[in-house]
Structure 1
């Protein structure tokens, strides 16, 4: 695994998928656009020992959760179906049980239809729930899939959640890997 930094800030990690040999990226929380990222009351940056990145975002208390991200598609393997994943942990989280998460990924500025999911692993039934436990102890939820045709373009991703006060979410970042 290769960690790519900008100054002292770790922005992303790169590795090849063991099965396919295709490119995988993990974008750190620091490299994402987080709606409350500059507000010290809502978001703090904390050190997590023995994790891929030095810091993760601790989203302490917020009304609006908004995460945006963009990557040049040429950084990925061509002619490959990819999926994007939100990587997080919930620490005595409140406010996530009843508010759905809006997920969208688009290539070249056109967004696919927004999908609504629940990312509290303890909620069953009402909403499509794709939360799974990772080997590193974090949780992940598949955001969306997209196909890289190999044409120069950008992949845009948005995660939004409004309504209800929410608290205590650790955000590690976004992972992009072959499906």
Structure 2
């Protein structure tokens, strides 16, 4: 029996039920099979199942007007799915965002600088907080209302944490430090340490990372390997802090750390945007 005969025999709800047990990527691909598959693949039944669990509660906690929240819930589920992929929703008093990873349907979070623990972060002589509207045009546009500018410290330590129950289960996540380098930086050529661990358990192994891209003028000590930053589409830079597999069987607190406390050299010019948690693409 060919595909055409099958779509004539099976009811649309049955086809939709089959598609709902695949993935968002496969649902989009299957919509190209035939007109019947296209109709079924666009149904609310399919996309309600492909939306991550708890998404309605997350939307309701967003600091937007109740009217906006209601209008989102009135969208067809497929439209809502892709809206949440392309438009991060603010939570935690606007200091975090929630979004959906487009091809897997997994939850993504980004903690803004205000959601992080920055040593001496509230001391004006060491750190300066700038509202996005007042940012220099030379800096990338921030999704949050404030970013943190490093003015002058010798002890750099930044931490973020998130409860694992808020993440998608059975998913490998990457944690990324999002930042840029401002004007006239100094003291940032030395490697920093990054690590990821579960609270109250043995700390994860620390790894070297470089905040500044390595150029031919940089002199990295022989044998001193480390992660290098890459530039994102939004013009911010990111360094991977580590990866974590969320079994989803228990609620723990995942801690993400970046620090440089050994060299003792004074530092300036770092602009902190936040830390992002997103599913890692499976290697084929």
Q: Which residue of 2 aligns with 1:86?
A: 177
**Residue 241 of structure 2 is aligned to residue 143 of structure 1:** yes
1:130, 1:141 within 8 Å by CA — same for their partners in 2? yes
Q: Deviations over 1:54-98 (max 9, x none)?
A: 11001111111111111100100000000100000101321111x
Number of residue pairs matched by the alignment: 175
1:38 to 89, 105, 122: 122
Correspondence for 1:64 among 152, 155, 176: 155
Q: Which secondary structure does the structure 2 equivalent of 1:20 belong to?
A: coil
Relative contact order, CA 8 A, sep 6+: which one is greater?
Answer: 1
Which one of 236, 251, 257 corresponds to residue 158 of structure 1?
257
- Which structure carries more strand by proportion? 1
Q: 2:194 aligns with which of 72, 80, 103?
A: 103
1:128, CA displacement in angstroms?
A: 1.7
Higher relative helix content: 2
What SS does the aligned partner of 2:197 have? Answer: strand
- Which whole-Å deviations, capped at 9, do the CAs of 1:128-148 have from their partners, x for residues lacking one? 233100111100000011110
Write the distance in 2 (CA, Å) between the matches of 1:22 and 1:54.
26
**Highest Rg: 1 or 2?**
2
User: What is the aligned counterpart of 2:229 among 131, 156, 168?
Assistant: 131
- Alignment partners' CA distance in 2, 1:72 and 1:141: 21
The gaps in structure 2 that reach 5 residues or longer are 1-87, 134-140
Is 2:166 the counterpart of 1:75? yes
Q: What is the Cα deviation at residue 51 of structure 1?
A: 2.3
Aligned match for 1:119, one of 211, 227, 230: 211
C-alpha deviation, 1:108, in angstroms: 4.3
* 2: CA distance, partners of 1:34 / 1:127: 26
SS at match of 1:57: strand
Aligned equivalents of 2:188 and 2:142: distance in 1? Answer: 24
SS of the residue 1:61 aligns to: coil
Tell me how far apart the structure 1 counterparts of residues 171 and 98 of structure 2 sit (CA, whole Å).
16
Shift of 1:48: 2.5
Kindly indicate whether the alpha-carbon contact (under 8 Å) linking 2:176 and 2:239 is maintained by their aligned counterparts in 1: yes
Is there any run of 5+ residues in structure 1 with no aligned partner, and where?
none
